[in-house]
């Protein structure tokens, strides 16, 4: 009998909902269908507005959570139709929700989505709120995917890292004889997306084409990298609470730079901040997933920063780079259902292993 779970992910980039249908009957589990849905402009605007404090935000957050759940329900129905399954075939949905605050130093992280509404609209049990228990145990609540990477991609014959480049970039270190490591390296696409939206009205820099027309500005890059976050030891995590428009404006106020040069330098910031955390480990290979894997300029910069290391898409590991995180949240949902701890305390800083998530039964 198949054990099918759907994972849903909406990340810091706010570009869409990734839905992955995973069969956990076999070992390793198999991704059997996936579908991406673009967030509507009204919902994206709602979620972006909630990234900063505003009047009446409790009410606005609940409305956005309802709209997010509705979009997730649509994504689930479309995925099931595409794959030829019904709700009755699915054990659960693992729904990450949309992060609107990440403040582990204050004892909380908040991912919104009305999971009761999602269960009601799909007729499928929902597992959500994955990060709060780790934070309650003294952890960062992020990144959570290293446990998934460890379970599926450990190879004793290769010193490897998996790097997810979404709005925020995070890395997982899988080195034989060492405990799995991982942390948020810093901005992935978030600052590049903010800048191109402000300057050209585009959601993202497709293939890094705009960045490729600019020049990296060494002084500006050094100023970006002087942020204290980059020098922090792990465990550490970050998000739009740090890397946001005001952060960018503050640094740019001291420079009269051409817009394309700023974009190139932001692209270099992502590449260098990733490379600086990996160089000392003398890795054999790095596998990239997330939207940033499609940014050719970023990938070239990363390769130049790590010339001795082979860099691949996670596709070569058997998981498409676009679906790695939604796959991970299906896996995290399974762990919750099985009452299996799914955090790595050495990664998040939690006091110990914890079962992550809450369940809304169908």
As annotated, the binding site includes: 11-18
Burial (CB count within 10 angstroms: exposed 0-12, middle 13-18, buried 19+), residue 339 = exposed
Neighbours of 124 (CB within 10 A): 25
Annotated binding site for ATP: 11-18
Q: Which has the closest alpha carbon to 233: 185, 180, 266, 288?
A: 185
Contact 183, 161 (CB under 8 A): no
Chain centroid offset of residue 181 CA: 16
Q: Which residues contact 222 (CB under 8 A, 6 or more apart)?
A: none
Contact 22, 323 (CB under 8 A): no
Dist CA 82 CA 305 (whole Å): 41
Q: Which residues contact 36 (CB under 8 A, 6 or more apart)?
A: 16, 17, 18, 19, 322
């Amino acid at each position: 009998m198949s054990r099918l779970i759907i994972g849903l992910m909406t990340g810091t980039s706010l570009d869409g909902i990734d839905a992955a249908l995973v069969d956990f009957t076999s070992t390793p589990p198999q991704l059997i269908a996936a579908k991406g849905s673009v967030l509507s402009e009204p919902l994206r605007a709602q979620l972006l507005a909630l990234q900063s404090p505003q009047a009446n935000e409790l009410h606005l957050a609940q409305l956005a959570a309802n709209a997010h759940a509705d979009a997730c329900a649509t994504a689930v129905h479309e995925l099931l139709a595409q794959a030829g399954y019904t709700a009755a075939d699915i054990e659960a949905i693992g729904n990450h929700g949309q992060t609107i605050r990440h403040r582990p130093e204050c004892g909380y992280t908040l991912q919104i989505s009305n999971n009761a509404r999602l269960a009601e609209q799909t007729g499928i049990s929902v597992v959500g709120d994955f990060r709060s228990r780790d934070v309650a145990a003294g952890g960062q609540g992020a990144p959570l995917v290293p446990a998934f990477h460890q379970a599926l991609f450990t190879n004793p014959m290769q010193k490897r890292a998996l790097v997810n480049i979404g709005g925020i970039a995070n890395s997982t270190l899988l080195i034989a004889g060492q405990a799995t490591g991982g942390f948020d390296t810093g901005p992935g696409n978030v600052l590049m997306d903010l800048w191109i939206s402000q300057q050209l009205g585009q959601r993202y820099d497709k293939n890094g084409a705009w960045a490729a027309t600019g020049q990296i500005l060494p002084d500006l890059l050094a100023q970006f990298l002087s942020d204290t976050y980059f020098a922090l030891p792990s465990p550490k995590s970050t998000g739009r609470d740090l890397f946001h428009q005001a952060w960018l404006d503050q640094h740019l106020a001291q420079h009269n730079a051409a817009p394309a040069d700023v974009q190139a330098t932001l692209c270099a910031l992502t590449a260098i901040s990733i490379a600086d955390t990996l160089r000392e480990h003398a890795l054999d290979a790095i596998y990239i997933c997330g939207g940033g894997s499609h940014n050719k300029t970023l990938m070239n910069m990363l390769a130049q920063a790590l010339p001795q290391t082979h860099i691949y898409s996670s596709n070569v590991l058997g998981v498409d780079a676009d679906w790695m995180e939604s796959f991970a949240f299906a896996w995290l949902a399974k762990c919750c259902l099985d009452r299996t701890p799914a955090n790595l305390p050495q990664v998040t800083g939690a006091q110990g292993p914890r079962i992550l998530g809450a369940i809304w039964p169908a």
